[in-house]
Amino acid sequence: MMKLPEICIKHPVFATVLSIAIVLLGMVSYQKLSVQYFPERHTASANVNASITGASAEFMSQNVAQVLINSIAGLDKVKTMTTNCKEGSCSLKIKFEDGIDDVEYTSLMNNLRSKVEGINDFPPAMTDKPTVTDDSSDTAMPSNIITFVNKNGKMSKQEMYDFISQQLVPQFKNVSGVGGVWGPYGGSKRAVRVWLEPERMAALNVSAADVVSTLSTYNTTFTAGTIKGEIRDFSINPVNQVTSTKDVRDLVIRVDNDNIIRIKDVADVKMGEESLEPSQLEVNGHTAMSLQVLPFKSENPVTVAHHVKKAMETMQLPADLEMKMVYNQADFIQKAIDDSFMTLLEAIVLVSAIVVLFLGSLRVAIIPLITIPVCVIGVFAVMAMLGFSINVLTILAIILAIGLVVDDAIVVVENCYRHIENGLSPIQAAMTSAKEIVFPVIAMTLTLAVVYLPIGLMSGLTADLFRQFAFTLAAAVILSGFVALTLSPMMSAYLLKPKGSGAAWFVWVESKLNQLTDNYVILLKNWFERPRIVLATTFGLILLSMVAVWLIPKVLLPTEDTGFIEVTSTPPAGANRLYNLKNSGQINKVLEGNDAVETNLAYIEGSPTNHVLLTPWGERKKTANEVIDELQAEASKNISAYTTSFSVRSADNLDIATGLVLEITTVNRDLEALATTAEKVVDLLKDYPGVSNVNNSTHRDQLRYDLSIDRNAITLSGAKYSNVTNAISTFLGSVKAADLQTDDGYTYPIEVQVNRKDLGDFKVLDKLYVVSEAGQKLPLSQFVSITPVTAESNIKTYNGKDAAEITANLVSGYSASDIEAYLDQQLPQLLMAGQSYKYDGVIKELNESSAGMQVLFGLALIFIFLILAVQFESFVDPLIILLTVPLCLVGAILTLSVFGQSLNLYSKIGLLTLVGLVTKHGILMVEFANIKRKEKVELMEAAMMSARARLRPILMTSLTMIIGSLPLALADGPGSLGQINIGLVLVGGLTIGTLFSLFIVPMAYVAIVAGCERVFRARGLTQ
């Protein structure tokens, strides 16, 4: 390596070919890189789902969730395990620890499946075993929303639904990269509805079981085999004779004294909707339906969206149906990437201008500037080799690299110029300079690259997101070091010439730089005489930054403007569908009255939900958060039927709850006490202005009737308990008795239930009968009593403990750290014995991210120290160099505070990058001073000579990085908040860090080296 610059100077073609090869590899690799917003993040997880039709949440919790928890206990590498039981279903989700590889994950999933398969004590009512699914088919968030509007109303709602679900959904699912299609929303599947008539059934002595049995029997499929002839065989195909609702009506239940009783005699049979309360959707006030398309997590969402659009162009639609993609996540991603590339070009232009300004000649400036395309394009080859993608973080790394990659080449050119000014020829100057700069170039390159080395040893969200940024930037810096040792010395040898008079503007710049250097040396001498003032100022700034760190908001990631606002509306407890249909217009009126809203998708499926799509970024002046503030103000005045909350949908696909998720757990199984505490916490949060839409999983928001069955009465009457329960399930619930295979090739479920009129009458039990073994008709009301109660709609556990999950949305202007501080102060006083609380979602990720970054900072400083110790063969010099780190961090933190920004993942990335950047200044100054010391120059004079000689390259490298970061600090548009944060950190940190390092490093060098020399002399040792 030490001989490489000399070889390249002697063989210029060899040096040129090396750089051309790097560029060609990068250009080829670029074509293979996918486009994403954030790097793909894999979190190992598993899901177990179980269902029992009609079972209450309490029943599912006690008889299913607890059985699963007990059986799965002991499974390795479990980070969190949660269960959520609702009416008729129970889901268990396991998140495994970070850093699990594919082999270990496969083993864990096999172990989990074995444990679930081995469970034998599930309730008898569970007809199907729980299903265990891994994350191999996980999809990202919906990337496309496609709406369908019936323009002139000629198609019925059911015809629309059938056409979309039967004709279009299969086509979307077959699009390359599509992992799933949700919907259609705004309707329901077809089903054959067999509406039972209790009076007619009683008159004909027909039970619900008779109807279900008849339908099931006729639906039985079988194979008839073949007829073996002497010459050939004939296969026999049973023909299904029940292919229409008419055929279902005519099915015979039984024959009484030549009187044929058919299904139509006791029930009304119609083709209807499977759901009694189908979802409803309006798009800007027009009745519509929609689909949501989800790509696989591993797929490029931009490419998938392109494929979906192409597929839409080939789909044939009825003349009355209008199909439109109203939301395309790829638009945001592509715009963010395009803007990032524009920022990259701006950084290149600004850095180039600074280089030309300092070097005074385009001929000279081309030497460091040629490093930019070589490193920027060449780094794509490294990205492809490591399996990275083009995303906002890797492009951010490349933008930052613009100011870094020229640094090493500038040092080479500056050093070579110095020797030319001393009388050497350009080639001799290049040879001499090459020998001098190999050491500092390698030291500066390794120092910056090694900052990111610890990221390869970590796992978790910070590591997953930061890894691609870190390794891309490190690769660009290493390439720049390679170019500085190969191409730059060669170009310096053949392009540099002894300075002439130069252009007038450069003569002026040169004179100002010389004047600045003289003033700097004078000022430095004065500061040497005032060490206490310098020390007091330094500590004062450090204390000020510590206060700023305490006060600055801390968030995981800034909320980017995706142009998509989600509106959640919570009605009063017990409000039904009719209430929502009547009052949801209040929400739509507020939304559609805002000029920034382009499309309002108003869903009613349970509680109202709105997807609000804003006008494109270039067509509106307000940010999404500003629009939310306006909508929130209007909602508080004009929406009385609901509690509404607004949030910006993220485009990062990180699967992290962006609001508050608080788990209150208990070990003593006292659910009443848990619910009481949860209600107190809800009241506490409602008094805090930083959150909205506070929800509590233990809130008794479900109005229901507990149904009690008198088993003794059933036995004494001669009826069967199973007949009673089956009758209740069939009449009041909905029993799928069979499937109807129609002539159009589609299959529809046959649902049996009491008619809609009687279903809404509590006296229906007097009309419903079972038949005793003696043939006597007995009303169900004889055995059943109903009591109105309120109950939890779902019951949760967290890590095996009963839990109350409290969620809330963050209000604009408040951060996750603000809410955490408030709760940590107030909540412990509300807990009862055996209760505790844990954060999930964004606060948990924020805490883990903060802990991870602290480890990264510590490891980075240790690695830098060790690298510098090896390079300088000293444990003292690295300490001097690292003194610049606290000062640059001071500047960065204060800059963030002044501009009202938060401490988030982006700003932390910037802080870590600063650690490697500012150490360059110390390396240049300490290395030069050491050379002079070896030449027997007195200590103070060596420090002053180093300060004078290195001022210009330090100013030049700092300015290139600062000016190169300005486009980031001034960015706007989609994805700009992250750029602004990291840009401000670098501009502020480098400005303050450079200013102080020019004074602190020389002063520290003199003080520490002099102290060490005194110690060595006192002990009779040589240094």
Please, what's the b/e burial string for 808-828 (b: 16 or more CB within 10 A of its CB; e: otherwise)?
bbbbbebbbbbbbebbeeebe
Residue 63 per-residue DSSP state: I
Selected residue with higher pLDDT from 541 and 598: 598
Task: Report phi then psi at 279, rounded to 5.
Answer: -65, 155
Residues 894-931 pLDDT 10s: 888 888 888 888 888 888 888 877 887 888 888 888 88
Distance set, CA 686 to CA 300, 638, 695, 963 (Å): 41, 20, 10, 46
Which residues neighbour 242 within 8 Å (Cβ) at sequence distance 6 or greater?
218, 219, 248, 251, 740
Q: How many residues does the chain have?
A: 1023
For the record, the structure tokens of 1011 come out as 């102290």
pTM score, two decimals? Answer: 0.79
Per the DSSP assignment, residues forming a β-bridge with 752 are 194, 735
| Average pLDDT of the segment spanning 778-802 | 80
The confidence score (pLDDT) of residue 704 equals 63
The band of 500, judged by pLDDT with boundaries at 50, 70 and 90, is low
CATH of domain 191-221+248-273+702-791: 3.30.2090.10
The band of 83, judged by pLDDT with boundaries at 50, 70 and 90, is very high
The band of 499, judged by pLDDT with boundaries at 50, 70 and 90, is low
pLDDT at 513 over 60: yes
Domains 191-221+248-273+702-791 and 561-649 share a fold: no
Share of the chain above pLDDT 90, in %: 22
pLDDT at 318 over 80: yes
Share of the chain above pLDDT 70, in %: 94
Superfamily of domain 502-551+874-1022: Multidrug efflux transporter AcrB transmembrane domain (1.20.1640.10)
For the record, the structure tokens of 167 come out as 């004709």
Query: Does the structural domain 45-133 have CATH classification 3.30.70.1430?
Result: yes
The strand pair at 226-228 and 564-570 is best described as unpaired
pLDDT at 662 over 70: yes
Rounded CA separation 924/953 (Å): 9
pLDDT at 494 over 70: yes
The band of 825, judged by pLDDT with boundaries at 50, 70 and 90, is very high
The confidence score (pLDDT) of residue 702 equals 59
Residues 400-438 pLDDT 10s: 888 778 877 877 887 887 788 787 888 888 888 878 778
DSSP H helices, 883-975, are 884-898, 905-934, 939-969
Which DSSP helix (H) or strand (E) runs through 65?
none
Query: Does the structural domain 561-649 have CATH classification 3.20.20.10?
Result: no
The band of 140, judged by pLDDT with boundaries at 50, 70 and 90, is low
The band of 791, judged by pLDDT with boundaries at 50, 70 and 90, is low
pLDDT at 679 over 60: yes
| Average pLDDT of the segment spanning 745-767 | 76
| Average pLDDT of the segment spanning 651-665 | 78
CA of residue 84 relative to chain centroid, distance? 22
The confidence score (pLDDT) of residue 831 equals 92
The confidence score (pLDDT) of residue 379 equals 94
Residues 162-183 pLDDT 10s: 999 999 999 999 999 898 898 8
Superfamily of domain 144-189+276-296+300-332: Multidrug efflux transporter AcrB pore domain like (3.30.70.1320)
Rounded CA separation 624/602 (Å): 19
pLDDT at 373 over 60: yes
| Average pLDDT of the segment spanning 677-684 | 91
The confidence score (pLDDT) of residue 782 equals 81
CB-count exposure of residue 702 (10 Å: 0-12, 13-18, 19+): middle
The band of 778, judged by pLDDT with boundaries at 50, 70 and 90, is confident
CATH of domain 1-22+360-500: 1.20.1640.10
Residues 545-556 pLDDT 10s: 777 778 788 888
Selected residue with higher pLDDT from 61 and 575: 61
pLDDT at 265 over 90: yes
The domain spans of the chain are 1-22+360-500, 45-133, 144-189+276-296+300-332, 191-221+248-273+702-791, 502-551+874-1022, 561-649
pLDDT mean across residues, the chain: 85
Which residues neighbour 221 within 8 Å (Cβ) at sequence distance 6 or greater?
238, 240
Residue 87 per-residue DSSP state: T
The confidence score (pLDDT) of residue 249 equals 92
The confidence score (pLDDT) of residue 1022 equals 54
pLDDT at 1 over 60: no
> Half-sphere exposure of residue 830, counting CA atoms within 13 Å on the CB side?
21
The confidence score (pLDDT) of residue 268 equals 93
Residues 554-612 pLDDT 10s: 888 888 888 999 998 888 877 888 889 899 999 999 998 899 999 999 999 878 999 99
For the record, the structure tokens of 184 come out as 């259609």
pLDDT at 482 over 80: yes
pLDDT at 2 over 70: no
pLDDT at 264 over 60: yes
pLDDT at 261 over 90: yes
Per the DSSP assignment, residues forming a β-bridge with 139 are 296
Please, what's the b/e burial string for 996-1007 (b: 16 or more CB within 10 A of its CB; e: otherwise)?
bbbbbbbbbbbe
The confidence score (pLDDT) of residue 978 equals 86
The confidence score (pLDDT) of residue 546 equals 77
Selected residue with higher pLDDT from 308 and 502: 308
The band of 139, judged by pLDDT with boundaries at 50, 70 and 90, is low
Q: Cβ of 728: how many Cβ atoms within 10 Å?
A: 20
Residues 937-991 pLDDT 10s: 888 888 899 888 888 888 887 888 888 888 888 888 788 888 899 999 999 988 9
